[in-house]
Amino acid sequence: MLYGIALFPEKEVQDAANSWRIRHDPHYCKIPPHLTLREAEEWSEEKLQLAISHLKTITTHLKPFQMTFNRVSSFFPVSHVLYYALEDPSPVVKLHQDVCSGPLAITRPKYVYTPHVTIGQQMSEGELHDLQGKLKMRQIHLTSHVDRLHLLYQTDQGTWTAYQSFQLEG
0.85 exceeded by pTM: yes
Residues acting as catalytic residues: 34, 116
The CATH number covering residue 98 comes to 3.90.1140.10
Write out the chain in H/E/C secondary structure: CEEEEEECCCHHHHHHHHHHHHHHCCCCCCCCCCEEEEEEEECCHHHHHHHHHHHHHHHCCCCCEEEEEEEEEECCCCCCEEEEEECCCHHHHHHHHHHCCHHHCCCCCCCCCCCEEEEEECCCHHHHHHHHHHHHCCCCCEEEEECEEEEEEECCCCCEEEEEEEECCC
Domains contained in the chain, number: 1
pLDDT tens for the chain, residues 1 to 170: 999 999 999 999 999 999 999 999 999 999 999 999 999 999 999 999 999 999 999 999 999 999 999 999 999 999 999 999 999 999 999 999 999 999 999 988 888 999 999 999 999 999 999 999 999 999 999 999 999 999 999 999 999 999 999 999 98
Domain that holds residue 126: 2-167
Please report the pLDDT score of residue 107 as a whole number.
Answer: 86
